[in-house]
Amino acid sequence: MRALAKRGRATRQVERRQEDGGLTEYLAFRVGSSTYALPVSIVREIVRSGTLTPVPRAPNGVLGISSFRGRVVTVIDLGGLLGVACSVVQPTSGPIRIPRLRILMIDVGQETLGYLVDDVVQVYRLAPRDVESATTVGSDVGAHVTGIARPQESGEVVLLLDPKALLP
Amino acid sequence: MLTEYEEHRLRLNVDGGFRIYRLRVQFSLLTIDASLEQLKATAKPHGEIITYLPTGEGAGADSIELDILMASKRTLSELEGLLGGMGGVILEVPRKRRASEASASPSDLPVVEGHLPVYEPRGSSTSVHAEEDRKPRAPSSVPPPEGKLGTVRSVTQTVRVDIQKLDRLMNAVSELAIVKSSLDRLFDRIRPQSSDRRSVAELVRLSRTFDRQLESMQQGILEVRMVPLGQLFERLTRVARQVGRNANKQFNLVVTGAETEVDKLIVEELSDPLMHMMRNAIDHGIEPPAVRAAAGKPEAGTIALNAFQKGSHVLIELEDDGGGIDTERVLEVALARNLINPAEVRSTSRRDILNLIFMPGLSTRAEAGEISGRGVGMDVVKTNISKLGGVIDVQSEVGIGTKLAITLPITLAIMRVLVAEVEGHTFAIPLANVREAVQLSESDVFTVDGHEAMSLRGSTLRLARLSSVFELEAARRPTRTAKRFVVVTMAGAARIGLVVDQLVGGRDVVMKALGGSLRAVRGFAGAADLGDEQLGLVLDTPSLYEEIVAGDRRRVAAAAGRSA
């Protein structure tokens, strides 16, 4: 059912994109004090509950593993990857139950990885002209940001992430 | 048995009005590749070869008999003329109805009709090929009686299933088990408050039935995955004969326990390691006849391949009465290749030396043999076995022989684990590798060669604290240290005591692989859902043992380096 709904959503999205002439949907989320966004098309699902089990010896940036639809998914600290502190505490021992867990499930290469974020904001539909190139803004945003948008609905600054930056 | 695709081709051909023939041909194992190619090339212009099925009968030691299912527009006599040079028997598989009625709906296909005698030779005299005489080994020239021709018919009784589908099914069942345990917890919470005793009793009864059904479902899926080792052993036997001929070694191969059943996946993965072990036994183990005679042994050696079930394990042993492993030579090579340190030679037991053959880069043969020595060594064998959750052990006496014993879990689908806690982390230790668990009293711990050990029933047990092996930070609220436990874990014949804070209990779990980004992390075989949304890491005990022991070696080497 959910898969069907998802497929429905995907087709709708494609249709909409055609109608609106190049609008892309971005999922905006908060990590630390900044708002970031990724194309909705690469986000498989947003998981809002669950437990993170830390894995000893795991590489830096890996928060642990979580069970997701019968599969074991590696969860990555997106804040760490971006160089900003995620407000979720780094687990020291034992499984952690994060009260308002938000994990973005994203297909990266062959694997589905989970990315821990502080909060999911909303979906923005942006046209290319809404997006400022990161290079014109300045160097302080980091190499993983491809562009910056200020959607009219909210007026907040949204940093568009390069999906390649997600590779752990 | 036909695959889906083959069945599909068969249907298409029948629907297309082709006749179906069965060619029964014997091939010599030595030339089968070439002969089969030749046959294919000859047959191709005249029809489609749908499949090859080994008949499993009538074949001698060095030959194999195949039933080749072929669709063709030609008549039987035409085909016999065309394929005459190949030897063997050609039979036409008749349709259920006469040609006039055969409006050839797929259901007319003999293959799908379970209740009918599917396969009748059409006039035995014409079906015998003239070339038959050239093949004295061929089975009787009269086609076998109907009852024996079960190969095609059996399609109706069996289903080929992708093992992944079974995995999904198993997954669903285990999710169900997890839901059930949540339900039980909920029920336990509500129960004291409930005054409706009849409903409570009813719930208890339903819950028990549910458990029983769940268990039989799990059992059923497990059984479906099981296949006898026989087929693999047959292949091994054939290879062994060929290898023996090429190497001019004489031996008798004694196979027992071919009926032992193992998970299909395990059988697949066992094929390469066993082949390699067999080649090794023939190439390195069994001596040439002259050498054997000089040593007062019978000229023909003996290789025994045994399989048997032992609890929830299957043991496969390959034993030869050959020259045995020269431990001196192994040590020499290991020293020359820096696999061990001169300082530790004296403290290395014979067993440990023998186990060096499983290290990468150790071959006692001066030059790689033509037969073995094809790049995969015993280290690869060991890695493959431990990937299956199994262990391999070696025993050998110079001049008497070598015995390699593989211990494997019967199934990979479901695993019994012991759940233990260390510093707030939950780990699952495969029960297959657990000998026992005892309480640890810190006062009994002593130090040997810089590592902790305790005495367990008169023998020394090496201890390893999981908290330090995994470098776990102490939990914020430290567990009361009074009662730690030692889980005595087996790695082959070796054992080690893993120290944990707490034992939670046994569980049946479905182990799942860790994602690719964690593949480099050593010490874990996977993770398992322990219920309540919580995952537990499943320890890879053989690799942990290896690592701990290797750590000792490094330490000893470093110490030796300092003192030198």
| pLDDT for residue B285 is more than 50 | yes
Q: Which residues of B touch A112 (CB under 8 A)?
A: 515
B515·A73 Cβ contact <8 A: yes
Q: How far is CA B233 from CA B26, B270, B317, B374, in A?
A: 20, 11, 12, 21
What are the phi and psi torsion angles at B83 (to 5°)?
-100, 15
pLDDT at B361: 67
Q: Which residues of A touch B523 (CB under 8 A)?
A: 56-57
pLDDT at B60: 58
What count of other Cβ atoms lies within 10 Å of the Cβ of residue B317? Answer: 18
Q: Chain A interface residues facing chain B, Cβ-Cβ under 8 Å?
A: 49-51, 53-59, 62, 65-67, 70-74, 76, 92-95, 109-113, 168
pLDDT band at B466 (very low <50, low <70, confident <90, very high): very high
ipTM of model: 0.78
Q: How far is CA B309 from CA A26, B147, B317, B489, in A?
A: 57, 33, 12, 20
The HSE-up count of residue B555 (CA atoms within 13 Å, CB side) is: 9
Q: Which residues of A touch B426 (CB under 8 A)?
A: 53, 94-95
**Rounded Cα gap, residues B549 and B530, in angstroms:** 30
What percent of chain A stands above pLDDT 70?
73
Residue B71: partners with Cβ closer than 8 Å, 6 or more residues away = B9, B10, B13, B14, B16, B18, B19, B20, B21, B47, B48, B50
Give the closest of A58, A67, A93 to B425, CB-based: A93
Cβ pair B457, B497 in contact under 8 A: no
Give the closest of A49, A57, A72 to B515, CB-based: A72
Note the residue count of chain A. 168
Tokens 């280290």 label which residue? Answer: B379
A95·B535 Cβ contact <8 A: yes
Q: Which CATH number fits domain B415-559: 3.40.50.10310, 2.40.50.180, 3.40.50.300, 3.90.1150.10?
A: 2.40.50.180
**Rounded Cα gap, residues B450 and B340, in angstroms:** 18
What are the phi and psi torsion angles at A36 (to 5°)?
-115, 165
Give the closest of B476, B524, B533 to A51, CB-based: B533
Cβ pair B154, B67 in contact under 8 A: no
Q: Which residues of A touch B526 (CB under 8 A)?
A: 72
Closest CA–CA distance from residue A70 to any residue of chain B (Å): 7
Closest CA–CA distance from residue B484 to any residue of chain A (Å): 17
A53·B426 Cβ contact <8 A: yes
| pLDDT for residue B416 is more than 90 | no
| Span of A90-104, B246-260, B302-316 with lowest mean pLDDT | A90-104
| Mean pLDDT along residues B212-218 | 87
Residue B147: partners with Cβ closer than 8 Å, 6 or more residues away = none
Angle (CA) B24-B26-B27 rounded to 5° is: 135
**Domain B229-331+360-409 part of CATH 3.90.25.10:** no
CA dihedral B136, B142, B146, B148 (to 10 degrees): -20
**Rounded Cα gap, residues B454 and B513, in angstroms:** 34
Q: Which residues of A touch B514 (CB under 8 A)?
A: 55, 65, 72, 74
pLDDT band at A133 (very low <50, low <70, confident <90, very high): confident
| Span of A30-39, B197-206, B525-534 with lowest mean pLDDT | B525-534
pLDDT at B554: 63
| pLDDT for residue B404 is more than 90 | yes
pLDDT at B121: 38
Q: Which residues of B touch A50 (CB under 8 A)?
A: 533
Closest CA–CA distance from residue A95 to any residue of chain B (Å): 7
What percent of chain B stands above pLDDT 70?
77
Mean predicted lDDT score pLDDT of chain A:
76
pLDDT at B1: 57
pLDDT band at B136 (very low <50, low <70, confident <90, very high): very low
What count of other Cβ atoms lies within 10 Å of the Cβ of residue B525? Answer: 22
pLDDT tens sequence across B224-283: 888 899 999 999 999 999 988 888 888 999 999 999 988 888 888 899 899 989 988 888
What percent of chain B stands above pLDDT 90?
15
Comparing C-alpha atoms, which of A11, A8, A12, A29 is closest to residue A122?
Answer: A29
Give the closest of A50, A59, A93 to B472, CB-based: A93
Strand B494-500: give its sheet, edge to edge. B434-440, B484-491, B494-500, B459-465, B451-456, B446-448
pLDDT at B99: 40
pLDDT band at B110 (very low <50, low <70, confident <90, very high): very low
| pLDDT for residue A146 is more than 90 | no
| Mean pLDDT along residues B70-96 | 73
Which CATH number belongs to the domain containing residue A88 in this structure?
A: 2.40.50.180
- In terms of C-beta density within 10 A (0-12 exposed, 13-18 middle, 19 or more buried), how is residue B100 classed? exposed
Cβ pair B422, B501 in contact under 8 A: yes
Rg (alpha carbons) of chain A, rounded to whole number: 16
In this predicted model, which residue has the larger pLDDT, A131 or B552? Answer: A131
What are the domain boundaries of chain B?
Answer: 4-156, 163-224, 229-331+360-409, 415-559
What domain range includes position A91? 2-166
Closest CA–CA distance from residue A51 to any residue of chain B (Å): 6
Tokens 């042993």 label which residue? Answer: B317
Q: Which residues of B touch A73 (CB under 8 A)?
A: 515
| pLDDT for residue B477 is more than 60 | no
B470·A112 Cβ contact <8 A: no
Closest CA–CA distance from residue A59 to any residue of chain B (Å): 8
Give the closest of A50, A72, A168 to B514, CB-based: A72
What type of residue sits at position A21? G
Cβ pair A131, A148 in contact under 8 A: yes
- Number of Cβ pairs closer than 8 Å across A and B? 94
What are the phi and psi torsion angles at B124 (to 5°)?
-65, -30
pLDDT at B117: 37
The HSE-up count of residue B59 (CA atoms within 13 Å, CB side) is: 20
Q: Please tell me which residue of chain B has the smallest CA distance to A70.
A: B171
| Mean pLDDT along residues B354-367 | 67
pLDDT tens sequence across B174-194: 778 778 877 888 888 888 888
Q: What is the DSSP letter of B145?
A: P
Q: SS3 of B278, please?
A: helix
Q: Please tell me which residue of chain B has the smallest CA distance to A114.
A: B515
Instruction: State both tokens at B535.
Output: 């995952």
Cβ pair B143, B127 in contact under 8 A: yes
Q: What is the DSSP letter of B121?
A: -
Closest CA–CA distance from residue B518 to any residue of chain A (Å): 7
Q: Please tell me which residue of chain B has the smallest CA distance to A95.
A: B425
Q: SS3 of B509, please?
A: strand
**Of the spans A84-93, B65-74, B80-89, which averages the highest pLDDT?**
B65-74
A56·B515 Cβ contact <8 A: no
| Span of A58-72, B25-39, B382-396 with lowest mean pLDDT | B25-39
CA dihedral B159, B161, B165, B171 (to 10 degrees): 70
Q: What is the DSSP letter of B59?
A: -
Cβ pair B337, B252 in contact under 8 A: no
**Of the spans A103-112, B114-123, B457-466, which averages the highest pLDDT?**
B457-466
Q: Which residues of B touch A68 (CB under 8 A)?
A: none
| pLDDT for residue B303 is more than 90 | yes
Q: Measured in whole angstroms, how far is the alpha carbon of residue B366 from the centre of its chain?
A: 31
Mean predicted lDDT score pLDDT of chain B:
77
| Span of A110-124, B141-155, B256-270, B425-439 with lowest mean pLDDT | B141-155
The HSE-up count of residue B283 (CA atoms within 13 Å, CB side) is: 21
A53·B526 Cβ contact <8 A: no
Q: Which residues of B touch A95 (CB under 8 A)?
A: 424-426, 534-535
B534·A74 Cβ contact <8 A: no
**Rounded Cα gap, residues A46 and B6, in angstroms:** 43
| Mean pLDDT along residues A132-157 | 75
Q: Which residues of B touch A49 (CB under 8 A)?
A: 533
What count of other Cβ atoms lies within 10 Å of the Cβ of residue B148? Answer: 11
Structural domains of chain A, count: 1
Q: SS3 of B343, please?
A: helix
In this predicted model, which residue has the larger pLDDT, B375 or B468? Answer: B468
pLDDT band at B144 (very low <50, low <70, confident <90, very high): very low
What are the phi and psi torsion angles at B537 (to 5°)?
-80, 130
B514·A65 Cβ contact <8 A: yes
Q: What is the DSSP letter of A53?
A: B
Q: Chain B interface residues facing chain A, Cβ-Cβ under 8 Å?
A: 171-172, 175, 423-426, 470-476, 512-518, 520-524, 526-527, 529, 533-537
What percent of chain A stands above pLDDT 90?
8
Cβ pair B459, B497 in contact under 8 A: no
Residue A39: partners with Cβ closer than 8 Å, 6 or more residues away = A24, A25, A26, A27, A163
Q: What is the DSSP letter of A22?
A: S
Q: Measured in whole angstroms, how far is the alpha carbon of residue B493 from the centre of its chain?
A: 20
B518·A66 Cβ contact <8 A: no
Residue B437: partners with Cβ closer than 8 Å, 6 or more residues away = B418, B485, B486, B487, B488, B503
Percent of chain A that is helix, strand, coil (3-state, to 5): 25, 45, 35
A92·B473 Cβ contact <8 A: yes
B527·A73 Cβ contact <8 A: no
> How do beta strands B446-448 and B459-465 pair?
unpaired
pLDDT tens sequence across B512-550: 888 888 888 888 988 988 876 788 999 988 888 888 887
pLDDT at B9: 73
pLDDT at B371: 41
pLDDT band at B370 (very low <50, low <70, confident <90, very high): very low
Paired with A46 in beta bridges are A104
